[in-house]
Amino acid sequence: MKGRVLVAGFATRHVVQSAYRAGYEVYAVDHFCDQDLCWYTKDRATFEELDEIPAAIETIASNHPIDIFVVTSGAEDLKTPLPLFGTPGDQVARHLDKLAIQHFFEEHNIPVPRLAAEGEYPCLIKPRRGAGGWRNQIISSKDKRREWEESWPGVPYLCQQVVDGQPCSVSCIGEGSRARAIATNEQLLRSEGERAFGFAGSITPFPHETTEAMVHYAEQAVSFSGCRGSVGVDFIAGQNPWAIEINPRFQATLDTVEMATGCNLFSLHIDACRGTIPDAMPKPLRFAARRILFAERDLTIRDDLKHLAPRISDIPWMGSEFEEGAAVVSVYGWGKTRAGALDMLDKTITHLRRYMSRW
């Protein structure tokens, strides 16, 4: 056992699993506490609202000595006396503000969609803070902008030029002044409704004509950012790459990155926080795909799905209730080719939908 790790955030299973595989004793503060999170943790605490995370952390830390503290989305800028391995909270703050990131990319000559001029439509409207992209929306008029404002009253936002291309990302490891890309990832979005831009999965690697440029810009951005550990840079890959955001924490693409490269991202994260990053970007061994399945209606889990692991993760407990639109489970596929990975993914999804159809 290498040490005791506490992972805290809205969803932590992917990081918990990576830390467990790296040889650590793992504890978690997590909103869901799904079955498989419990497989890999010695103890855990759950919460309903994000402002309850500090109390949940205190509960775990008061009962167990913690050597390493790691955060995921929703807990990036928490202040705690625990030994943080990652980007300090006061430094993280500017990377959680999308307007500040806009100016950061511009300052360092990294291509970024420009801010839309007043009255310019269509444009992409998005909140200045928040993860997952689910409140992002392309608006076509002043009236649509007003509708968005009424839906999210008081939420600070920005409007950007609309650019065409494939949403994607580069997963990096940074040590504060240097960075190394680990993988490129195609991002799958929900593509419909008010959550059209919401994250719904990933495919690793993402071979594209702009891959070399994206890797260069991502390593440059993470190096200039001062971030430490696992850091992701989101892009839109069209004729040219456009940088969109920096995620100064573990990303939701972790599973497919590890499946595709054979790397353990938690180990790389800890090494980077101690000053060591890989000498070169690893070559992918295979293609790996993940798709999140969402509830198409209100439902209650009536079957135990654990026998489907490792083809699925984030496995809900029997009796768990989900509202329409909520994430239910993650599904995976892998293979020597992208088509092979997607074929395996589709077969498992088809199998799962037979269960879901009767819930």
- Show the tokens assigned to 24: 């650590």
Fold matches, 4-84 and 287-356? no
- φ/ψ of 84, rounded to 5, equals -75, 130
CB burial of 168-179 (b: ≥16 within 10 Å; e: otherwise) equals bbbbbbbbbeeb
**Per-residue confidence (pLDDT) for residue 210, from 0 to 100:** 97
98-107 and 211-225 are packed helices; what angle lies between their axes, rounded to 10 degrees?
A: 110
CATH 3.90.1170 fits 287-356, yes or no: yes
**Per-residue confidence (pLDDT) for residue 130, from 0 to 100:** 81
Rounded average pLDDT per 10-residue block, the chain, 359 residues: 95 98 98 98 97 97 97 92 93 91 97 96 94 86 95 95 97 97 97 83 98 98 97 97 96 98 98 98 98 96 97 98 96 98 98 94
Domain range annotation of the chain? 4-84, 287-356
* Percentage with pLDDT > 70 across the chain: 99
CATH 2.60.40.10 fits 4-84, yes or no: no
Q: Which helix (H) or strand (E) holds 312?
A: strand 312-313
- φ/ψ of 255, rounded to 5, equals -60, -50
Report CA-CA distances (Å) from 322 to 38, 53, 238.
Answer: 20, 22, 36
**Per-residue confidence (pLDDT) for residue 214, from 0 to 100:** 98
**Per-residue confidence (pLDDT) for residue 1, from 0 to 100:** 79
- CA–CA distance, 4 with 231 (Å, rounded to integer): 22
Q: Which helix (H) or strand (E) holds 300?
A: strand 299-300
**Per-residue confidence (pLDDT) for residue 192, from 0 to 100:** 75
**Per-residue confidence (pLDDT) for residue 74, from 0 to 100:** 92
Cβ within 8 Å of residue 314, ≥6 positions away: 11, 13, 32, 34, 36, 292, 327, 329, 330
